[in-house]
Structure formats: structure tokens, C-alpha cells
Structure 1
Amino acid sequence: MTKDKILCLGKEFTTEEERRAFFRSELRAKLPDLKSIDGFPFGEDEDIIELSDPPYYTACPNPWLNDFVFNWETKKAVLSNRMDNFLVSEPYSGDVNEGKNNPIYNAHGYHTKVPHPAVMRYILHYTQPGDIVLDGFAGTGMAGVAAQLCAFPDPETHYRIENEFKDLGLKPPVWGTRNAILSDLSPIASFIAYNYNTPKEADSFKKETQKLMAELEAECGWMYETFHTNAIKGRINYTIWSSVFSCPQCSGEIVFWETAIDKDKGAVLDEFLCPHCGATQSKRQLDKAWVTIFDSAINQSIRQAKIVPVLINYTVSGKRFEKVPDENDIALIRKIEELEIPFWFPKDRMPEGDEARRNDRDGITHLHHFYTKRNNYVIASIWEKASKIPHFRWAISGIIQRANKQHQIAVSRVGGEKANAGGKTAGHRRGTLYIPSIQVEFSVFELIYERLKIIQKALLKRSTPVAISTQSSTKLQLKDESVDYIFVDPPFGANIMYSELNFLWEGWLKVKTNNKKEAIENRFQGKSLFEYQFLIESCFHEFYRVLRPGKWMTVEFSNTSASVWNSIQNALQRVGFIVSNVSFLNKKQETHSARTSSTAVKQDLVISCYKPSKDFVDKIESSGSEVIVWDFISEHLQHLPVHSKREKSTTAIIERSPKILYDRLITFYLMRGLPIPINAKEFQDGLKQRFATRDDMFFTSVQAAEYDEKKALAPNFVQLALIIGNESDAIEWLKSRLRSKPQKYNDIMPDFRIATQSLRKGDTLPELQEILNENFIQETDGSWRTPDPSEAKDREILRTKVLLKEFNEYIAIIKQPKAKKLKEVRVESLRTGFKNCWDNKDFKTILELGDMIPQNILLEDEKLLMYYDIAKDRV
């Protein structure tokens, strides 16, 4: 019986090894040209080639992406479950609740990760079998896993998604494989993604790893032994190490664990007594104790903050015990410290950065300083042994953060009410390289055995090829209009310093992130919010270019910053996308910061946006008439969700409000440099004449009928609450309140004050009386009501004059000699003035004033930032 040939991009091979050798040779020849591509990583050529599994995965820009696209396109024609006229007219608007507790999610940690079943919902809604999905900020590759598992989901996920689609009134999902292209700037991210998306037979993997672990046990098992009694030895699970401080009064050493931890209550003491002189001390008052050692890895003496072992957790005959380290344990540690590690391990100096060098002050300056000598030795040994088994190295990389000095003790579970609830260890502080005063040195053996069990459950048993590239998304090599759907979870401002945090992993890979095009805010990289927006916009521009017209992109957002939110929204719209919906993605399991911080994000936002059809854009750009405005609105309304339901109630869809519809229209025209052919009053009148109104929302006639039908099943209507953050919000809040019945100033004022608790710094909110005078009508009895259409037009003219007068006063102030930046401004005056400057093509004034107002006002206001950014391109 002859063995099946392996077919890869039109070429036949006898074995995977033959295929890999051929394409590695091809990759080696292509490397000189690839090095000019944005995001080409730092590393030696041979290390990059050794890490790669071409053409499927390259630890550099992947030169075969278009070949995969061509191959997948030819296969679309023969798929029986594809529709010729497949069209998605509205977004997936349901809120997604998906937990993190599944074997695939838990197989390998990363800073951010979206559970693959959550991504499956979007892929199933926006695509059909055979379609091409792109994730340009792929991270661990969950979009690739999701695309593949659309063909063979587990029964529970299949059942849940089918039911959710039915509840949302969507067409049943068409199950089947989608093809995925995954790209990320980080070599460790693409390495994790490759292993997640490459099938591996669990039994063979188990045999391979058991053999290597047996070798490791024979070589290094003794390093984690401790005496239970004189004759019986136990196996160390973890050792707790404590920082040592020096008393400023007597210079005596204070072991923090012994002196400052109340083990009965499970708490860190605010004050404690020096065990030598009895002086009352606090951690803040203490000096660190230091040791000077010779570091043979870098061939120099180094000074480090002193730490000592204080507790050992170990197992004997299946039972756990604890002990204070005895002289044998200290002797064992000393013996290991004196050993030379005979295997390669990374010794790199930590790069410059807020996180990467935060531990310099404690003498933790190089990558190997993050580990005890014992753990560094064992990891180096197994890393070398696993050199030919990528999935095993993947498992080892998965323990790096738990095996180093970042792992901290959960003091609250040492004693008191929470004693041993969930164990005494607490993991590392996510998003940082923080090393705590009380550290946990886990046994590398225990970590690897645990990780292997999880990975064996997570291994894909079958898969379709996924194309993976390591590069920046600012310049993709894909052809125009070549992908059918994009899902991205991009970096957000200064949330996470990816390249700095990933250095701990990438040192082991010998291939490191080229952070020149890393889309973050970072002081050491010289990247402010402006640079971040420029980079993220460059990526979105590429996504717009490669996405087919009429298709969709989903952007996940997790950040509390209004300025970052506006940067994302502006970038999307500047490149041509039209935002259709914003919904929630709840990953259920909260991070430590989400549990303890009042400002931490507890639910992610999901932005749904689409690329308009080419015919539609050409039609708009070729005509400036008002008639085309209504073509735009009609087209846009058909891309909005028709009905939104939460907890069995119908909820308002903010994108269907006249204010947001007009904002979308203005943005569409401005971003293309077109004159706006209609004002707000004419627009609102036109909406009422041409479209159906339901609950202050606008629909096409067909959509209105569908809305009525669905609302009948959930008749309770919930208007979205409005918190006043600026003057525009205040006007909408008052309109909503006065629409039902007129009210007097004294009736309005108390609630108005309560609602205005989240004003932006630097944004002047006029007094309630002034807002009422400019925007509403007062009756003879003193009550205020909303104006009728003719009154509204008069009020708008009056208000515009007032706002422009105030705007001109700002201009006069900044033109004075030695003028200082304005500390407070009225944003509505700026909006009106910027629009007036735009109409008069006075772009210089927009820039001059934009540079003199509080930066947060400019960055956090979507309209101001839009005018400012476009003006920069016009001057």
C-alpha cells in the first residue's frame, strides 16, 4: 500500500519533513527581500527559519499569503454548502457571553485573548464555508481556531450558537470550515497561534513528552527533593521566597514574611516591630538588604536585592505538607547555585521601557535574573530536549510566567476566613513585569505536567491549513479585496506594553518583536496618542484595502479611555469604514483589576463596521445633490440592526437616532473631502418625510414592519440611559426629559445635577439656565418645553451666533503675544467654529486653535479630532 502524497500549494511531497525542508530553503532565499517589510522581527536568519514551518507559518512576513488565497478561491467553486448570492445586510448585534474556562483557552496564557466560541458567532454570521477570514492582530490565533471549529464544533457549542441565532431572529448558521489568515507583530504570539492551529495526535504527543520528561526526571529530579523525616523524602511543589529588608534604626535584617505577614489573619501588617531593636516600622520606611554575587552568565559581579526561602510546600505519598526550610534545603539550594548550566538559555539585557526595566532597581537587569538558578537550569534542559517537538516547546513557553519570580503568594489565603481557598498562590500581576516581595518558586516539573494535561485536551485532531505571518499590519502583502471578513482585537493605547512583556518569552525563541510599528502609546518608543492613532489608522487602512466591498469587520475594544475610543472610531471612519453597531462581549471571568478597580473594563465593546460597495461610493462621490443623501441613509439603515433585545425587553438602537444618523452622514462626506449638502434641520425634516419612525428611531418601511413584529414579542421598551458628559449630552438629556411634558427649572435642576457627574476636565458646561435659553422654549407659566420645527430652526440660528462669538473670542486670545494654552473651553463653541472654518477652507485656524486647547479635549472629542486631523492634511 503506497502512502498518500502530501499536497501543499500545488507541490507534492512524500513526508512533512520533505515539505518543510523544501519551503525552508525557499524561505531562506526570500529573506533578503522580506527584511524591508514593516515588522520584520529581530533575530538571526537561521533562528527565524528554524522556528518557522513554511509555508503555513513563518516567524517573519509570510511570502505565501496570496498563494493561499488563490488556492482557497479555486476551492470555493466546488463547495456544496455555499450560496452564490450570500449577503449580510445587518450586523451581529447580540451581546455575547462566553466564559474562558475551556481546554483550548487554558492551554496557553497571553495578555489578551478572546474565547474562540465567541469569535465563532461572528464568523458564522458574516461568512459562509470556504470564505477567507483575516485577523491582523491575531495574538494566540483564536480566530483561526474559531474558523476551523466552524466545521466540527463540540455539541454544546453547536447547540448554544444555534439557539442564540434563533433567539436573535437570524438565519441558521451554515456550519463548515472557513479559511484563516493570522498575522501578528510578535514572534511569541505567532508561535502560540501556530501551535494552537496545527493538529497533533494526542497519543503520539503523550509518548514523546513522557520520554523526554523521564530523561529530565533522571537528570534534575533531585533538585526538587526535601526531607519529610530523616528517612523519607518528599517532592517540592513550590518554595516561597521572601524579600529581606534592613532596619533603619539598628541595621538588623528583617525577613518580610516572618515579620510583616499576619499568618493567622492572612494579611500584610501596616506596621510591625523590628525583631532586633523593637522599633516600629512599615515597609515604606525600610531599606532593602543587598547581596553581591558573581553572575557567570554575563561574566560580571552584580548587586541584587536579597531574598531567602521561607516555606516549602511538598508532597509525600499523595499528601501535601509544609515546612520551614532546614539546613538540608539550604544546602541543596547552595549546591544548585554553584552549578554551571550546561545548556543554552537567554541572557539578554532587558530592553528599555516602562515595564521591561522596572526591576533594574532590584538588580533584575537581564532575562535570566527572572528565574531562580534551579528553575532556570531545568527549563534550559527541557527546552534543549524539546527542540524537535514544537508542541512541547509551546507547552514549556506556557509555564514561563508561572515559573519565574513574578509569581506571587495570595496572602489573604494564607490564613483567616479565606485560608487555602483556591490555594495560596496567586499568579503574576497581568500586564506587568512586577516582581513581588513574597515570591513563589514553582517546581518546573509540576508546571509542565499540569500544562501537558491541559494541552492534550486542547490539541486539534484535524484542521485545514491556516496561514500565519509575523509582521506589522501597517503593510500587508495581500492583494486588494482578497478577504471576506476581518475580526481584530487590536492594542489599545497604553493598555499593555506587548513587546516589553513578550521579551521574557521571545528570549527563548531567539526571535524578538521589532517594535518600530507597534501600535501602542509608549514613552520610551516616543509614541503618544497621536502616533498610536497614526499606526492604528495605517492598519485599518490595510484592512479596508484587502476587504471585499460590502463585507464586514468586527473590532473588539477594551479600554476606559475616551481618547483611545475616539482614536479607534476616527481611524475606522477616516479609512472608509462605516460603523453600524456597538455591542458587548462579556468574557465572564474578571481579571484582578476588573474586580478591584472602579475604572477597569468589565465588559469589552464590539464595533461592527462595513465597507460600502464600490458602486455606492462612486455614486455618492460623483454627485453632491441632496437626493444622494437619502440614498446613503437608506443604504446605511439596511446595515443597522433592526431589533435589539436585552433581558426580554426591546432596547433602543442608538445608531437609528437622528443625531447619530446625521453624524454618520457628515463623517462619510468629510472623510472623502466632499461638501455636506444638507444641514441638521433639513436632515431631520427629510428623515421624517422619507422613513418610518418607531420609538424615536428611523427605519425603512420593510424594517419597520419587522421591528413591530419583533417588538410585539418583547413589548417592554427600554430607552438607553444618558449620562451627561458634555453640553451635547446635556441637550439630549433635556430633550428626552421635556418631550413627555414641560417642566420648570426647579423641577429639572436636581436630576440635572445628579446626571452631570462625569464631565471632562477642561470642558466648560454652561449653566442649566443658559442651555435652556439657547435650545428650548419657555411658556408663560415658567415651564420649559421642546421647540417645534420652526422654533427649532430659529433657536439654532441664535445659538450658532452665540457659539461663533465665543469661538472668535478664543481666536483673539491665542493670537495675543506670548499667549498661553487655554485651560478651559466650551466644546460646542469649538465644534461650531471648526465647522465654520471648514466651510470657509480656513484649515490653518483649526490647527492653531487645536494646538492651544487642552489636549484631552481635542483627543476625547470625536468631531474636534476629526476636523483637526483632516485639516492637517489640507495645510
Structure 2
Amino acid sequence: MTDYQSSLSGIEESESLFEDFGDDDLTPLLNDDDEWYPTPPQPLDKEVSRRNPIADMHIYWSKKPYEAIEHFVEQLSEEDDVVLDGCSGSGMTGVASIAQGRKFIGTDHSPAAVFLSQNVLAPITPTTLNQAYSELESAVKGRINDLYRVSCEDCGSQGTTNYVRWRHVYECKRCGNDVIATKDRKVSKATYSCDSCGADVSIGDDGKPIDRRPIEISYDCSCGSGRANQKEPTDRDKRLIEQANQRDIDYWTPDSELKLNSRIGVTNKQTVADLYTPRNLHAMALLRDEIQRFDSPIRELLMFCFTSICFNTTIMYQDREAGGGVTKGTLYQPPQYKENNVWNIFEGKVNYIRRGLEEKQDVMGNFDVWETARVFQDDVRDLSRLDESSVDYIFIDPPYGDQVPYSEINLVWTAWLEDSERFDDEIVITDSSEREEKQSEHQWQDAISETFEELYRVLKPGRWVTVTFNPGNMSLNAWEEFNRRIQDAGFLPYNGRYALDISQKTYKQLTESKAQKKDVIVNYYKLPTEAEEVEFETPPEETPQNIRELVETAIDNIVREGYQGEGVYTDQVFHAVLTVLTENNALEYRPDWEAILEEKYVCVEDQMGRDRWQPPDTTTEIDPTLNYYSEDLIARREIEQFLEEEEAATYTEIQEHLADNLASLPETSLGDILEDAFIKEYDRSDREHKWRMPETPEERARIERQREGQMESRIDSFVHTLREDEYIDETPPLEVLEYGTRYLLNEERHADALLLFDYIDIDELPEDMRDDVRRRQRICQTLADEDPSVEQNTQEDADDDGQQQKLEDLEDGTEN
């Protein structure tokens, strides 16, 4: 056995470092200060990135940027106060707290989350990691790479595989031939075509692969220039892969069973080990076995590096054109995946963790764990190790119903740590058929009540709890119940909504038009016992009389702005409604927003069977008596109908069709109209270019965004002309002006929007637009009247006391 301890004897970290995180003695952290903190926080006025060197050290689900958390920790607590996060997850609240000179207590239900939090917070130096990595590399790199041998096309000797691109193989039910799940055979997300008979082959729950085949290998060879080579696997390569897969694994491997749950991609009985190809399982087991030979805290540090690659080395690593990766929050195993060289992934992740350790030194400094932080595996509903009224501030990101079944997914890490998840006690709703006791929304709501009752118990009076959430598929009723349960626990909501504007989006947010890109934050206050009747003075002091109009406008904006050729999801509309309610002190208002959707908008089903909402005027019949329908718009609609019938047509064919069917031709050139709204392709059979309708969501979104950009530019130019009182050479068409009112309202340029209404004859608009335009006009007028910059120049040094909300009768004149 390698004696790593003697070779690493110069490290600075204490052997008890990780034991200190779990020490039950909380005396060094707690304090007796009972001062009230009545001043609410100011909103975060800058965009923050989800990506940073500390966050990049390890993947976790719904991770919040520590810089955003710092903003609230700094305002709602004082130096040396203790901050609690009862669902600590990846430990970002701890980073924010220690960075601001606070003490930190974190708890989490999952042993994997506790392990990650402790490692994220542990004050370990990059030098220590470098030393440990060097020792580990010498011991295992060659042994691991021996599993990834491949024949070099250039010199004939053996190179080292970087990755192999694999494809599932399915049996065609019609002819019995093999169908390989490659891009050129893809019909839809879950369907591929058979080359032999042309039949469609489903790969859904009932279509299980009969085989897996390698289609490409990326490799390095000493004879090359240092750049990776790609090639089709030869018979020799396939034999090398098979030989590696058949080797006996002489090391421990996890046998924990995954929970059946089709929503996260587990449809068959599998263990954690089944998520790996045989040789990747072998490599992972070998690497882990060598890490276990180190003593603490180096062992924990290297296992942190190890768990950071547990997902990217599985068959869940999708082979996508825009780059690979796993679908976060699921255990989905795609039909097209990459088998990555385990050592290469580990080496790359160590580099990320090294940068994270450097960032931690700058952000958190050097601190003593025993005097500063604790992280326990506890249920947030039972914080019995904490006394009543002992915590100064709480920041918590609780589980959102059925968003992420943490225990089911964290099991991949927990299994490799030789631990187990406590499925029965988790605060989630799950679709797992093996967890029927966790499928009730009412049970989840009761768990939320218990959570906040316990948080209320441990929080000092006159202090704050900040709750962040991004509820996804939660209904408005579910949010109302969630909010009510927090208030029933005793907390008073501060009805001002803040949002974390995160620049680095999740894959879902990047691929879904107008997805909810902000995590909503609500602050709650624990009133001092002697001030139970006191309420917040929150602006606006009363819910606006036009709250329904504000809600309707928010729905209209999200549907129209988020249309992008496909439509928005119902939960995206919910987020827009919730934003309006929280911004306007109207959390208790219950608009029937779903009825508004059904009455005013068009519901369509996308390729995955999900409902999407579109503006009604996308299908409105043309009324040529209305000025709204300019010659250009009429021509575009006529071309759309023509191409839907013909599928594709040449420029000349379209020109002749317009001449035969329109009373007058458009003023804009036909070429410009086609470029703005349609797709041009070369027809090889006819050897000429033809125009067609945009077909894919990406094409429709690109065309829609292109047209919107052109209209926005035209509106900006027109507003500038009006502002400068210049000669108006040409007024934009009504179609552009109507869009401009939505665009400017969304940009909060209310005074500019009012200028446009002077040029809009509402009676010349389609009937289904008129009420929306009138409502926009009223809202812009109201908001412009409230904006002092409309009547006079903004005073740079204006007194902002009206925006600094305080608690009535609690402010003692001292800023906290």
C-alpha cells in the first residue's frame, strides 16, 4: 500500500478539519445579541452569474450564486452573526456568510449535499490539491489509460481514447432490421426511420435498445501533433473495447438501486453501477480505491474531485452538436451518448477545483472551521441541536414540490460515498412508483409548514428569513398555499419582490423561449413579541386599483414577447403573474389568470405534447377595410397561405401568385419581404432556389426575433424623431406601432409609449387587439404620471427615503 501520508507530510490542513464541521458544540458560533433589525433589504440591482470558479467546482441542482446571497446576508445580519441554511445543498450560503464575516450553520437531508457543502467551505489550499493530485496521478493514470487503448490510423501503434461516441440500436417492428439512432435517421425527438423499409421506430418507454454501437473515436497518439484525432472504429478497436469491458473489476463498486421514475428517466430496474459502461465503471472503481488510501482531509478533498465527475463519466452524458453534458435534475440516458475517458475528465475537473480553491482564498480568506462553521445531516423540520431564538438570519432555498427529487438523483454520489439516502423523510413530491408516500401535494405542504415552524422557533425575534424559489410547474394556487403556510408559522411577509437575475442559464432556460430566468425572492420577518400588531410600510401602501389590468398586461406581454414562433408554457405565464402580484403588494389577490389565458389566447400542443400559448392574432383573418392591414402585411399573409399549400416556391412563382391574387402590390420589395419572413433553400432536384415557411422552432424563433428587431429599430427611430420634434417623413404602419407599445411597455419606457398612442387609431386595429392596446395606454399613463422624470429632469441626488421601506414604529433611528 502506498504511504501517501509521509509524502504529504508538509500539508497545512488539520486532520480534524472535516470532524470540526460536525462538532455538536455550537458555543463558538452563537451569540446573545437580541437587537432588532427592522430595516428591510434593498433589491439587488445587478445581474449575477450562476457560473463562477467556486460554483464550477461541483455540479448541483438549482444552485444559487453566492454573490447574490451575499447581498442579503450583508443587509440582514451583522458581523459575527450566525446564518442558518436549513437546505444547504452545495454550500453557497455558507460561502456568502463566511465571506461577509458571519458564522454559518448548514443542514441538509442528503448526505451527498452535506459532503459537498463541507468540501466547498473547507479552507484547503490549491497547493495541497496540487501535491495530492501529483501523488494520485503517478499511481493510477497509466493503469486507467490502459483501459482506453485504440489503434492509431497513422502509425499503427496504440493511442489513448479521449471519448467514444455511442448510438443505441433498435429493432424495426416492420422488417426486423437494425435502426441506429443517428442524426440523419431522426424523425422527431423519440422517433427514428428505418433505412430498409422506411418505417418509423419509436424509442419511447416501449422501445428499448437491443444493442449499442460505437460510431466514432477521439484519441491521442504519441506520433501526432498533439491534436486529438477522430476516426470510425475498426474491428480491432471494437475488440480492444470489448477486451476492456470484460476485464475483472477487483475493486468495490456501488450496488444501490435507483428508484423507478419515468419523469427523471429511470424506466428499468437499475443500479448506480449500471449507469456506467463496464470499462468506465472499472476506471471509476480503480480511481476511488486509490483515493481511499489517503488520510483525512486529503481523502475528502480527492473524493470531492471524484464525485464531481460521477455524472460526466456515465452513459447519461449526451452527445449533442452544441456540446455534451448530462440533463441536470434527471438520470436520463440518451440514445446518443459519449463514453468519456475517466482520467481525462478527472484531470479537467481538478483544474476547475484548483481555480475554485484560489477564488475561495480571495473571497473567504483563512478561517478556523471549529470557530466558524458547522454542516450537519439534519432534517430541517427537526433542528433540535439549536435552541429557541438562537439564529440571527436564515437564507433558505426549499424544495419546490416536484421540481427535483433530490434523493433519487443524489444517490449517484451517495452510493460512491458508501452511504445511503433517506427517501422516506424527504420534502418532495415525486412521480416514482416506488415512493407512493411522496406523491401528495398536501403532504408536501404540511412538510413546508413544519419546516417554517421550526425555522420560526430557532430565529431570533426582530430578524429576517429570506426565501428563494423558482417553482416551475407549481400552480398559482400552490404558491398561495406555500406563502400562507409560511405566514401561518408566524412570519410576516415583506411584500416587495426581488429577483436574482442570473446571466448563466440552465439548459432548459437556454432552450425554451422566454423561460423563467429569475429566481424570485421574498423576505419574511419575525416580529418581536411586544410588537405583534405592527405591519410593514411597503410601497405601494395599497394594492393598485388597476391590479387586474396589470395582470392582464403581464399575461399579454409574456405570451406575445415569448411567442418566438412556438409559444410559451403555462408555468411561464404563472411566473409573470406572480411577479406582478409580488411587485404590487398583491400576494393575496387571486386573479383567474388561467381563464384569461383560455379566453384570449390560442393553446397549441408542441412536439413533446406540452401546451403552449400563442397570441390570437397569429391566426386572425385579414380584414382589408382596416388600416392595420398594410399592403406589406397582406402580402406576407398571402405568401404564407401560398407556401403552406405549395410547401416551396421560387421567387417568380410567388411574384406571379401575388400579381394574380392581390388588388395592389406591396410598397416594400418582394425580396425584402421574403428575406424578413421566410427561408430560402436550394432545391437540388429542380436546381433552383426556393422559398418556404420556417418549420422548426429554431427557424420560427429566428425569423420572429429578426422581425421584432427590425420593428424595434424602427420604433426607436420614430420615438427619437418625436422627442426631437423633427419632421416626420413617414409614420410606421399600425402593425409596427401596435408592437411598439408592447415593446416600450416591456422596456418600462412609459413616456415613449405614450407618444405612439397619438398615432394609433384603435378602431383601425383588429377587434381582438383593441382592449389590450387600451389597457397598455392606461397603464403607461398611470406609470408615466408616477415617474418624476417625465415632467422634469431626474435629480441625481434625489432623496430616496421613499424607496427605503421600514417597519412602522420599530425604527429606532439607528441604521443596522
Q: What is the TM-score when the length of structure 2 is the normalising length?
A: 0.60
Q: 1:538 to 1:326 in 2, by over 3 A?
A: same
Task: Give 1:153-302 correspondences, 5 Å limit.
Answer: 177-228=101-152, 229-257=154-182, 260=185, 272-274=193-195, 278-284=196-202
The residue type paired with residue 481 of structure 1 is S
The residue type paired with residue 471 of structure 1 is D
CA distance in 2, matches of 1:401, 1:252: 33
Q: Deviations over 1:536-555 (max 9, x none)?
A: 11111111111111111111
Q: Which residue does the alignment assign to 2:272?
A: 367
Task: Give 1:604-683 correspondences, 5 Å limit.
Answer: 604-617=519-532, 620=533, 632-633=534-535, 636-637=536-537
Q: 1:755 to 1:480 in 2, by over 3 A?
A: farther
CA distance in 2, matches of 1:286, 1:539: 38
Q: Deviations over 1:718-763 (max 9, x none)?
A: xxxxx9xxxxxxxxxxxxx9xxxxxxx9999966864999xxxxxx
SS at structure 2 position matched to 1:181: strand
Q: Which residue does the alignment assign to 1:597?
A: 512
RMSD: 3.8
SS at structure 2 position matched to 1:491: coil
The residue type paired with residue 473 of structure 1 is V
Q: Which residue does the alignment assign to 1:570?
A: 484
CA contact (8 A) 1:137 1:183 kept: yes
Task: Give 1:90's match in structure 2, choosing from 30, 34, 40.
Answer: 40
1:243: how far off?
0.4
CA distance in 2, matches of 1:557, 1:502: 20
CA contact (8 A) 1:237 1:446 kept: yes
CA distance in 1, matches of 2:240, 2:86: 48
Task: Give 1:331's match in structure 2, choosing from 232, 239, 244.
Answer: 239
CA contact (8 A) 1:350 1:357 kept: no
Q: Which residue does the alignment assign to 1:470?
A: 377
CA distance in 1, matches of 2:120, 2:521: 24
Q: Which residue does the alignment assign to 1:402?
A: 312
1:15: how far off?
9.4
CA contact (8 A) 2:218 2:231 kept: yes
CA contact (8 A) 1:640 1:655 kept: no
Task: Give 1:795-814 correspondences, 5 Å limit.
Answer: none
CA distance in 2, matches of 1:541, 1:111: 25
Task: Give 1:496's match in structure 2, choosing from 391, 404, 420.
Answer: 404
Q: 1:436 to 1:655 in 2, by over 3 A?
A: closer
Q: Which residue does the alignment assign to 2:619?
A: none
Q: 1:305 to 1:273 in 2, by over 3 A?
A: closer
CA distance in 2, matches of 1:430, 1:660: 31
Q: Deviations over 1:628-683 (max 9, x none)?
A: xxxx34xx1179999xxxxxxxxx997796866999xxxxxxxxxxxxxxxxxxxx
Q: Deviations over 1:516-561 (max 9, x none)?
A: 2211112434332111111011111111111111111111110242
Task: Give 1:839-854 correspondences, 5 Å limit.
Answer: none
2:457 is aligned with 1:545: yes
Q: 1:397 to 1:640 in 2, by over 3 A?
A: farther
1:16: how far off?
3.8
CA contact (8 A) 2:540 2:585 kept: no
CA contact (8 A) 1:56 1:468 kept: yes
Q: 1:522 to 1:285 in 2, by over 3 A?
A: closer
Q: 1:435 to 1:552 in 2, by over 3 A?
A: same
Q: 1:105 to 1:656 in 2, by over 3 A?
A: closer
1:215: how far off?
1.3
Q: 1:268 to 1:653 in 2, by over 3 A?
A: closer
Q: 1:552 to 1:230 in 2, by over 3 A?
A: same
Gaps of 5+ in 2: 1-11, 543-578, 591-741, 743-753, 755-761, 776-816
The residue type paired with residue 577 of structure 1 is F
2:390 is aligned with 1:485: no
Q: 1:248 to 1:136 in 2, by over 3 A?
A: same
Q: Which residue does the alignment assign to 2:639?
A: none
2:17 is aligned with 1:105: no
1:591: how far off?
1.7
More divergent stretch after superposition (508-517 vs 533-542):
508-517
Q: Which residue does the alignment assign to 1:867?
A: none
Q: 1:333 to 1:582 in 2, by over 3 A?
A: same
1:285: how far off?
8.1
Q: 1:380 to 1:448 in 2, by over 3 A?
A: same
CA distance in 1, matches of 2:589, 2:178: 68
CA contact (8 A) 1:257 1:438 kept: yes
CA contact (8 A) 2:93 2:395 kept: yes
1:219: how far off?
1.7
The residue type paired with residue 288 of structure 2 is W
CA distance in 2, matches of 1:287, 1:101: 35
Task: Give 1:526's match in structure 2, choosing from 437, 450, 454.
Answer: 437
Q: Deviations over 1:549-596 (max 9, x none)?
A: 111111111024223322321111110111112111111112222233
1:485: how far off?
0.5
Q: 1:385 to 1:533 in 2, by over 3 A?
A: same
SS at structure 2 position matched to 1:235: strand
CA distance in 2, matches of 1:376, 1:639: 58
Task: Give 1:429's match in structure 2, choosing from 290, 309, 327.
Answer: 327
Q: 1:756 to 1:187 in 2, by over 3 A?
A: farther
Q: 1:180 to 1:313 in 2, by over 3 A?
A: same
1:385: how far off?
1.1
Q: Deviations over 1:675-732 (max 9, x none)?
A: xxxxxxxxxxxxxxxxxxxxxxxxxxxxxxxxxxxxxxxxxxxxxxxx9xxxxxxxxx
Q: 1:383 to 1:756 in 2, by over 3 A?
A: farther
Q: Which residue does the alignment assign to 2:19?
A: 54
CA contact (8 A) 1:242 1:439 kept: yes
CA contact (8 A) 1:396 1:448 kept: yes
1:88: how far off?
4.0
Q: 1:342 to 1:94 in 2, by over 3 A?
A: same
2:72 is aligned with 1:134: no
Q: 1:563 to 1:380 in 2, by over 3 A?
A: farther
CA contact (8 A) 1:90 1:641 kept: no
CA contact (8 A) 2:497 2:583 kept: no
The residue type paired with residue 71 of structure 1 is P
CA distance in 1, matches of 2:766, 2:194: 58
1:468: how far off?
0.4
CA contact (8 A) 1:245 1:287 kept: no
2:28 is aligned with 1:71: yes
Q: 1:587 to 1:471 in 2, by over 3 A?
A: same
CA distance in 2, matches of 1:455, 1:517: 32
CA contact (8 A) 1:506 1:512 kept: yes
CA contact (8 A) 1:395 1:452 kept: yes
CA distance in 1, matches of 2:244, 2:441: 47
1:225: how far off?
2.6
The residue type paired with residue 249 of structure 1 is R
Q: Which residue does the alignment assign to 1:508?
A: 416
The residue type paired with residue 284 of structure 1 is S
1:210: how far off?
1.5
CA distance in 1, matches of 2:205, 2:429: 33
CA distance in 2, matches of 1:215, 1:483: 46
Q: 1:178 to 1:756 in 2, by over 3 A?
A: farther
2:96 is aligned with 1:146: yes
The residue type paired with residue 366 of structure 1 is T
CA distance in 1, matches of 2:493, 2:417: 39
CA distance in 1, matches of 2:135, 2:332: 35
